[in-house]
A and B are shown apart, each in its own frame.
Chain A
Amino acid sequence: MDHPPKPPPGVYVQDGPPPSGYPPIDVRRNLPRSVGPSAVALFAGTALMMAYGYYRVCTFNVHRRELRAEWRDVRLCIIPFLQAEDDARYVLTAKRYRDWESKVMEHVPGWNVDESVYHTKKYGPPLR
């Protein structure tokens, strides 16, 4: 900015604007759009990501259901074999106990090895 020339001594000069005036000041609002994708782009991108995410969740849940059903079927198929083994073990153990009881009680008169210890005819599950 050019400074005005110094006035001669004794002369009063008021500080004011230059003769041609100041340049115009831009007072318009300056709110630039933020850097990056627009709101629409962000919304669309999030919606696409969510759609893909839900698709993967649904497909994996179907897979998990099938896997759980398969494990359930495996357990159901194997149950008869396990039961058969358990039954065979029970029969063998019961025979051993009966043989041991008859050996121990052979000198006791009137003792029946297979007789029930209860006084009722009602069925009760065997003592294991």
Chain B
Amino acid sequence: MESFILLFTNDKLLIFNFIIILLFIKSLSYIIPLIIAIAYLTLIERKIIGSIQKRKGPNIVGIFGLLQPIADGLKLLLKETSLPNSANIFIFIIAPILTFFLALCAWAIMPFNEINFYSNLNIGILYLLAISSLGVYGIIISGWASNSKYAFLGGLRSAAQIISYEVSIGLIIINVLLCSGTLNLKEIVLAQQNIWYIFPLFPLFLMFFISSLAETNRSPFDLPEAEAELVAGYNVEYSAMGFALFFLGEYTNIILISAVSTILFLAGWLPPFDIFLFNWIPNSIWFGFKTIIILVLFIWVRAAFPRYRYDQLIQLGWKIFLPLSLAWLMLTSGILLSYDGFPN
């Protein structure tokens, strides 16, 4: 206890303490807006799906339903956290924490601007792929720890779906890396100053979008967590905070993958045209605007398309997207080699 107090009162460690406090405030400045964004994403989703279905979304709690996410969050907080008697309690509790923790970790390398980022990692893309691969553990652990048939099956299906589409996502990203020559997210954006990568790699952008729908268990690839199909899948035994954490983790992943699509294909924070009117808008606003476009696409697809059957889902991942992305990799490297277009 005395040594802990000395840590903060010792003059020689003053700079160290100052840095720790600064890092803490910086982390909070990223996490708190992100959680507010997730909360209001749920409201936007319900409003947009309502509009598509010719009805209003939530509009009772607060004006235009603006307090609905707060009501939802409060409801989940105040509910009883039920722990099944036969469940493995330790890993039952760890699973949602792990999912949300990993989803938040991935935001550490996201550049909102040329100067505004938490950490400028030179192997940013590798870090993102590693985090998304680790995210599968949360799902498998929750499915196993629930000690329920439906949860277990849902967990297995979800995990198999995620790893299937991760392969094609990785190959699509390699195409972008060939064109940009770097794994650093900031440099990938700067490499798109001349042309956004959505133009040469448009079919890949479509494949990346569809694979990211499957990666985040979104419609039409949400069979593992559909209520009618599998009684809500791997999170069937979770209530209150556990469910809230899974929910938060899923929506964090959705926003994350939208932001990654923006960085890889839509030139991140760069304005569409480098002229006077477009330059007046701050770069971070452009980044947010493009991410929101992708998020609206996610929601639109959820409202518009019926669900894929599980075998169709897996077949799409392995027999269509994987060969296509592999073939596109050869096309891209062939074109860059023939016309001396490699960046290094």
Contacts and interface: CB of A to CB of B under 8 A. Distances in A.
A is bound by B: yes
B102 interface: no
A57 interface: yes
B202 A64 contact: no
A54 B340 contact: no
Interface in A36-61: 46, 49-50, 52-61
Nearest to A59: B194
A89 interface: no
Nearest to A63: B194
Nearest to B199: A53
B50 interface: no
A58 B341 contact: yes
Given A46-B202, A61-B179, A53 B340 contact: no
Contact of B203 (A46, A57, A60): A46
Interface in B188-235: 191, 193-195, 197, 199-203
Interface residues of B, number: 20
Nearest to B336: A58
A11 B335 CA distance: 87
A56 B194 CA distance: 7
B343 A54 contact: no
Nearest to B335: A54
A57 B195 contact: yes
Contacts, number: 59
A61 B199 contact: no
B339 interface: yes
Contacts of A59: 194, 341
B202 A57 contact: no
B339 A58 contact: yes
A55 B194 CA distance: 11
Interface string A14-43: 000000000000000000000000000000
B193 A57 contact: no
Contacts of A62: 340-341
Main secondary structure of the interface of A (DSSP, over half): helix
**Which secondary structure dominates where chain B touches chain A?**
loop
Contacts of B342: 61
Contacts of B202: 46, 49-50, 53
B340 A60 contact: no
A65 interface: yes
B175 to A, nearest CB: 11
B181 A61 contact: yes
A53 B203 CA distance: 12
B3 interface: no
B344 interface: yes
Interface string A60-82: 11111100000000000000000
Contacts of B341: 54, 57-59, 61-62
A65 B200 contact: no
Given A54-B341, A65-B344, A60 B195 contact: yes
Contacts of A49: 199, 202
Contacts of A57: 179, 194-195, 197, 200, 336, 341
A45 B200 CA distance: 12
B342 to A, nearest CB: 6
Contacts of A50: 199-203
**Most chain B beta-carbon neighbours within 10 Å: one of A54, A57, A62:** A57
Interface in B6-47: none
Interface in B61-100: none
A61 B341 CA distance: 6
Nearest to B193: A60
A53 B336 contact: no
Interface of B: 179, 181, 191, 193-195, 197, 199-203, 335-336, 339-344
14 contacts: A49-B199, A49-B202, A50-B199, A54-B339, A57-B195, A57-B197, A57-B341, A58-B340, A60-B193, A60-B194, A61-B181, A61-B341, A61-B343, A62-B341
Given A54-B341, A60-B194, A61-B341, 8 more contacts: A50-B201, A53-B195, A56-B200, A58-B336, A58-B339, A60-B191, A60-B195, A62-B341
Across the A-B interface, give the 7 residue pairs with the lowest CB-CB distance, nearest first: A53-B200, A58-B341, A53-B199, A60-B194, A56-B195, A61-B343, A54-B200
